[in-house]
C-alpha cells in the first residue's frame, strides 16, 4: 500500500491542484451560508469554534476561516524560555545526530537540505528539533517560540506533497522536497535557531507576517492554509525540549521545556 501511495502522490500534479484549491477556497461565500458551512467544517475536522473572537459570518471565504485569529486569551503564553510555536501533533522531537534530522523511524534527512543553508546547519548541528503536524482543524497561525532577533526569512521552492502522517511515512525526505519558508534567529545567548514553515498539498500559499527584527515569545510569524508542518530547530546549549512522543498534542504558547 505504501508503494502504491508513494507512486500516486509522486505522479499527482500537486502544485497546480493546490493553486486551484487556493483559488476556490478564496472565493467569497454568501454571508447567510457562512456560519453553517464553518460549523460543518469544525465538526468534520475537529476545529474549536469557542476560541474564535470574530463572528463566523465575518469570514468571507474558507481561506479566511482557515487563517482565523483567536481570542487574545485563547492561547496564553507560558512563562518559560521556550514555548510551542503552533497547535498540532508531534511527529518527532528530540536531539539531532550531527546534521541528520529524523523524519520518521529509519527515514531522515540532512539539516542543510531543509534549511537551504550549510552555514546555519553547521551552527545547529547536534542541537534539538521538534516537528509538528498541523491538521486541517488546527489553528493555522505560527508564532515565535522564544525571545530572539529574527535575522532573515528565506523562501525555498519545491513541490507540495501532503504532510499527513501517512504521506510522511512513505515519501522519502518529504520535508526537504516541499516548498518552505526558513526563519533564521539569533538567540540572546549568542546562539542560533531556525523555524521552518513547510508548505503542503493545498497549502502552497504560506503568508509571512514578520520578516526581521526583535520578536518576543508568542509574536506571530506567519500563517498557513488548510494544514501543514512546522520544524523547530535549536542549536546546542539551548533549553532542552520536553521529551514528547509522536502524536502528542501541543498548543501554541504552552511551555516546550
Number of helices (H), then strands (E), in the chain: 8, 13
- pLDDT of 211 higher than 50: yes
Residue 182: pLDDT band (50, 70, 90) is: very high
- Return the minimum-mean-pLDDT range out of 126-140, 196-210, 220-234: 196-210
228: annotated active-site residue:
yes
* 3-class DSSP assignment, residue 132: strand
Which one is catalytic: 18, 140, 181, 228? 228
The DSSP symbol for 105 reads: T
Q: Per-residue pLDDT averaged across 234-249, rounded?
A: 91
Among 18, 87, 117, 140, the one annotated catalytic: 87
pLDDT digits (tens, 9 = 90+) for 25-80: 778 999 999 999 999 999 999 999 999 989 999 999 988 998 999 999 999 999 99
Q: Which residue has the cell 489553528?
A: 139
Q: What is the pLDDT of residue 185?
A: 97
Of residues 162 and 47, the one with the higher pLDDT is 47
Mean pLDDT of the chain: 86
Q: Is the pLDDT of residue 169 over 80?
A: no
Residue positions counted in the chain: 257
Is the pLDDT at 168 greater than 80? The verdict is: no
Q: Is 143 a catalytic residue?
A: yes
Alpha carbon distance 137, 245 (integer Å): 21
Active-site residue 48, yes or no? no
pLDDT per position as a tens digit, 65-122: 989 999 999 999 999 999 999 999 999 999 998 998 876 655 688 999 999 999 999 9
Grid look-up 517560540 returns 145
Out of 117, 140, 143, 205, pick the active-site residue. 143
Predicted local confidence at residue 5, as pLDDT: 56
The percentage of the chain sitting over the pLDDT mark of 70, rounded to a whole number, equals 82
Specify the pLDDT at position 1. 44
**Res 2: pLDDT:** 65
- What's residue 146's pLDDT? 96
**Angle made by CA atoms 146, 108, 228, in degrees to the nearest 5:** 55
Say what the pTM is: 0.90
Secondary structure element (H or E) that encloses residue 220, with its range: strand 220-223
Amino acid at each position: 500500500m505504501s508503494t502504491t501511495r508513494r507512486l500516486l502522490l509522486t505522479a499527482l500534479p500537486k502544485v497546480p491542484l493546490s493553486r486551484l484549491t487556493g483559488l476556490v477556497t478564496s472565493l467569497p461565500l454568501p454571508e447567510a451560508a457562512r456560519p453553517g458551512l464553518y460549523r460543518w467544517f469544525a465538526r468534520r475536522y475537529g476545529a474549536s469554534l469557542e476560541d474564535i473572537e470574530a463572528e463566523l459570518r465575518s469570514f468571507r471565504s474558507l481561506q479566511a476561516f482557515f487563517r482565523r485569529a483567536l481570542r487574545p486569551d485563547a492561547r496564553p503564553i507560558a512563562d518559560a524560555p521556550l514555548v510551542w510555536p503552533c497547535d498540532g501533533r508531534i511527529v518527532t522531537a528530540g536531539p539531532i545526530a550531527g546534521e541528520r534530522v529524523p523524519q520518521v523511524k529509519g527515514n531522515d534527512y540532512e539539516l542543510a537540505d531543509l534549511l537551504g543553508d550549510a552555514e546555519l546547519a553547521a551552527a545547529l548541528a547536534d542541537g534539538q528539533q521538534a516537528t509538528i503536524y498541523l491538521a486541517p482543524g488546527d489553528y493555522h497561525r505560527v508564532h515565535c517560540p522564544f525571545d530572539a532577533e529574527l535575522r532573515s526569512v528565506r523562501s525555498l521552492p519545491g513541490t507540495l506533497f501532503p504532510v499527513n502522517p501517512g504521506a510522511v511515512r512513505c515519501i522519502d525526505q518529504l520535508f526537504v522536497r516541499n516548498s518552505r519558508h526558513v526563519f533564521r534567529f539569533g538567540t540572546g545567548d549568542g546562539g542560533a535557531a531556525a523555524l521552518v514553515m513547510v508548505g503542503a498539498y493545498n497549502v502552497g500559499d504560506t503568508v509571512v507576517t514578520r520578516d526581521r527584527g526583535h520578536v518576543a515569545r508568542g509574536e506571530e510569524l506567519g500563517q498557513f492554509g488548510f494544514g501543514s508542518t512546522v520544524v523547530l530547530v535549536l542549536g546546542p546549549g539551548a533549553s532542552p525540549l520536553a521529551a514528547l512522543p509522536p502524536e502528542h498534542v501541543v498548543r501554541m504558547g504552552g511551555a516546550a521545556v
